[in-house]
Structure 1
Amino acid sequence: MGIFKIEGGISLKGEITPQGAKNEALQILCAVLLTPEKVIINNIPDIIDINKLITLLGNLGVKIQKNGSGSYTFQADEVNIQYLETEAFKKEGGSLRGSIMIVGPLLARFGKGYIPKPGGDKIGRRRLDTHFEGFINLGAKFRYNREDHFYGVEAPKGLKGAAMLLDEASVTGTANIVMAAVLAKGKTTVYNAACEPYLQQLCKMLNSMGAKITGVGSNLLTIEGVESLGGCEHKILPDMIEIGSWIGLAAMTKSEITIKDVSWDNLGLIPNTFRKLGITLERRGDDIFIPAHVDGYEVKTDIDGSILTIADAPWPGFTPDLLSIVLVVATQAKGDILIHQKMFESRLFFVDKLIDMGAKIMLCDPHRAVVMGHDFKSQLKATTMSSPDIRAGISLLIAALSAKGTSIIQNIEQIDRGYERIDERLRAIGANIVRA
């Protein structure tokens, strides 16, 4: 198992370009199963979770050609649907949470889709009810093998459009239902649909393939089913979670960093949320410039003087994937802040590692933590720690880069699942980080 060895307390400087968005790529890659024609996808991040999904598609019989860095051609004209019933698939599909999104396309095109209980981050319960209730609304029959934790949906006579109100605005659930509905007979309406940029990208891609989806960007999607879809070429957006990570890194290490080609129009509340922490960031074209915060940064209060609360919410609210970054950045701010993680009950448990480094954090319950900032008057101390999940892992890495001394981060495979060649890219802007 790999480790990162980090010498902290060094100011960085330079430009960094965000990778393609992991959460968009997981959806887009599953959508190639909807057509027998060629689909070209560009800006695919070279990370563990995405590479696992590409391997899974190959084992399903999808023809895959690498065109260059981050660019692939996929053709699903000879899909081996029987692979879904093999022991190899049960093992492979269960190692990746994003694999759940192959079910919608397979159900729509081949009349059945199976999946083992997906793995992924251990950040709390992540229900799949929204996915399967949507498929049932479209006419599929559902079954679940409790012994093998194996889910299945079947619709041998095809799917039929339906009106549905989702019980939660699940991003992956919405994506799965939309991919099933594009080939269903008749009209489907999905209310309380997720509407974040990566879901919008999926809908735009499907429309370019011949789908008829309206309401894109809202929480009410209307899908007119079509007989078949064709090929297309699609480019994945830059990863907003990585962009937020670099903003936090720049502030914590008092570094002057330019983040290139961020797609500002798709960042939502992210820039202003970091500004609430007192972080200065400037828009320069489509780049973000963060100056060195040599005098630190001060947390703003609410209008009435109350402690600032930052909470996650479905888009266009603040993404839960960046709350871990906000929390670690707040440890060196001037002022106090309440972090409210509403969606996952285990995501804040990594704060014990920050407390070991000297951070002042009070974990109120599994969902809330109060952070009392040091204002850089007491530097975090280096330590040895283990990465519990992708986002906590990058937060601990940022803490280590700002800490005094040499830190060791274990279980870095969790970080590699979501961040492409992160050690190389950090060294390019001056970080002292070694993979061992």
Structure 2
Amino acid sequence: MDKFKITGKSRIAGEVVISGSKNAALPLLAAMLLPNDETVLHNVPTLKDTATLIELIAGTGVAIKKEGNTVVADARSVTSYYAPYELVRTMRASILVLGPLLARFGEAVVSLPGGCSIGSRPVDQHLKAFEALGATITVENGYVNAKAPAGGRLIGCDFTFDMVTVGGTENVIMAAALAKGVTRLENCACEPEVVDLANMLVAMGAKIDGIGTPTMVIEGVDSLHGCEYSVIADRIETGSYLAGALMSEGDVLTTRTSAQFLHPVLKKFEAMGATITTGDDWIRAVMKGRPKAVDIRTQVHPGFPTDMQAQLMAVCCLAEGTSTIIENIFENRFMHVPELQRMGANIKVDGHSAIVEGVETFMPAPVMATDLRASMSLVMAAACADGESIIDRIYHIDRGYDDVENKLRSLGVNIERIKG
């Protein structure tokens, strides 16, 4: 199992090019199953998760290949509607193939998903919506078996999600795009990644109103055609590298990205004392002195994103004063706390709240990544620690950060991958 060795006391500074969004690329890849045609998708990050989903899609018979950051898929050759446990167990987003397969071919068998252990993320909202669209759903031996009504086509409906769910919204709008009639969805997720998927579906010929709002109306069409599309920039990767500037009195310029998707995070950075400047496709964070303590409450979009909570906690660990962090999205998303404590952080957890009393510096220590975003918080903490740290289980970071070692080195971090 690979590890990172990081020698700290780095000033994190320089320019870094941001890759395409992992959280957007995965549903866009799944959507390539929908048209009976060739689709070209640009700006796809090179990650373990994208590779897994491409392998899963190839397993259905789709001719799909990735060259550089471009994926080309021809879904005219689908021969299987089965997504095996061996692939799905490694990545929660694999469930996103269920909607496209069910909508286009009238049936699908998909393993229940795995992924980061950050709390319960049930797929019941996906399945309830598919049942409302007329599908018959059974769960047997860890697999979801889904069949469309007689005639093989889903039927438009009115459906309200019981809770805001990004993956559920994405799965259902893909399915509804090929349903017979009109589907009205309430309490939809409004994240930029959901908007990106809806825009790609429209480019394929889907008819969707209300994109970016809690209410979306999808008028089903008989078929979708291929298109050429580009994945949006990764807002979480952007925020992660900018956070490094705040922790190290640094100066980080992120390019090929957008401030449009990061307002809640950038406001917190400014409240902590950073100077934030932005352009059409760049964001710069400059930090002079120690950051100031802030309070953070994670919320669904457009609130503060849960995927930036661990990184901001690492900044708060070095802040002057006491910060309060409340996690409202996932119940187990404080698993990085014991690892930060090993590095000298002063954090007390009470249920969904963490009280962080700032310290002047991190101490080097051997630590273990517990999930994707926590892994980056530990990397940044190690980069600021006075000495050498070892970070284990870095397969988590490989799932979501493209070319992470080279990007960190370009920012002045002394990092080495130790092959396990």
Partner AA of 2:144 in structure 1: Y
1:194-205 equivalences under 5 Å are: 194-205=189-200
Determine the C-alpha separation between the residues in 2 that align with 1:285 and 1:138. 41
Determine the C-alpha separation between the residues in 2 that align with 1:285 and 1:33. 33
The answer to whether the 8 Å contact 1:215/1:222 transfers is yes
Q: Which stretch of structure 1 is more off in the superposition, 102-111 or 91-100?
A: 91-100
Partner AA of 1:30 in structure 2: A
Determine the C-alpha separation between the residues in 1 that align with 2:49 and 2:408. 21
The answer to whether the 8 Å contact 1:193/1:219 transfers is yes
Deviation at 1:352, TM superposition (A): 1.1
1:128 aligns with 2:123: yes
**Match of 1:181?**
176
Deviation at 1:126, TM superposition (A): 1.0
**Match of 1:63?**
63
**Match of 1:400?**
382
Determine the C-alpha separation between the residues in 1 that align with 2:326 and 2:211. 29
Deviation at 1:284, TM superposition (A): 3.6
The answer to whether the 8 Å contact 1:249/1:398 transfers is yes
**Match of 1:428?**
410
Partner AA of 2:208 in structure 1: I
Q: Percent identity?
A: 37
What's the TM-score, normalizing by structure 1?
A: 0.93
**Match of 2:235?**
240
1:296 aligns with 2:295: no
Deviation at 1:383, TM superposition (A): 0.3
**Match of 1:303?**
none
**Match of 2:371?**
389
Q: Which stretch of structure 1 is more off in the superposition, 204-213 or 272-281?
A: 272-281
Determine the C-alpha separation between the residues in 1 that align with 2:285 and 2:225. 43
**Match of 1:261?**
256
Determine the C-alpha separation between the residues in 1 that align with 2:29 and 2:167. 13
CA deviations on 1:285-320 (whole Å, 9 max, x unpaired) are 4211122x3422223xxxxxxxx5311111111111
Number of aligned pairs? Answer: 416
What's the TM-score, normalizing by structure 2?
A: 0.96
User: Which secondary structure does the structure 2 equivalent of 1:369 belong to?
Assistant: strand
**Match of 2:328?**
342
1:150 aligns with 2:143: yes
Partner AA of 2:121 in structure 1: R
Considering only aligned residues, what root-mean-square deviation do their CA atoms show, in Å?
1.3
**Match of 1:95?**
90
Determine the C-alpha separation between the residues in 1 that align with 2:270 and 2:411. 23
1:244-393 equivalences under 5 Å are: 244-291=239-286, 293-299=287-293, 308-365=294-351, 367-374=352-359, 378-393=360-375
Partner AA of 1:310 in structure 2: I
Structure 2: segments with no counterpart, 5+ residues: none
CA deviations on 1:1-23 (whole Å, 9 max, x unpaired) are 00100000011321001111000
Determine the C-alpha separation between the residues in 2 that align with 1:65 and 1:389. 28
CA deviations on 1:18-58 (whole Å, 9 max, x unpaired) are 11100001110000111111100000010101110001111
- Flag the 1:140–1:83 CA change in 2: closer, same or farther, 3 A: closer
**Match of 1:213?**
208
The answer to whether the 8 Å contact 2:81/2:109 transfers is no
Deviation at 1:83, TM superposition (A): 4.2
Structure 1: segments with no counterpart, 5+ residues: 300-307
**Match of 1:72?**
71
User: Which secondary structure does the structure 2 equivalent of 1:121 belong to?
Assistant: coil
The answer to whether the 8 Å contact 1:94/1:115 transfers is no
The answer to whether the 8 Å contact 1:44/1:71 transfers is yes
User: Which secondary structure does the structure 1 equivalent of 2:334 belong to?
Assistant: coil
Q: In the alignment, which of 94, 112, 118 is matched to residue 117 of structure 1?
A: 112
Partner AA of 2:390 in structure 1: I
**Match of 2:20?**
20
Determine the C-alpha separation between the residues in 1 that align with 2:305 and 2:7. 30
1:415 aligns with 2:415: no
CA deviations on 1:65-95 (whole Å, 9 max, x unpaired) are 33x42011111111122544xxxx2322222
Determine the C-alpha separation between the residues in 1 that align with 2:167 and 2:242. 26
**Match of 1:305?**
none
Partner AA of 2:337 in structure 1: V
Determine the C-alpha separation between the residues in 2 that align with 1:285 and 1:21. 17
Determine the C-alpha separation between the residues in 1 that align with 2:134 and 2:385. 55
Determine the C-alpha separation between the residues in 1 that align with 2:411 and 2:273. 23
Partner AA of 1:278 in structure 2: G
Deviation at 1:415, TM superposition (A): 0.8
Determine the C-alpha separation between the residues in 2 that align with 1:324 and 1:83. 35
The answer to whether the 8 Å contact 2:21/2:233 transfers is yes
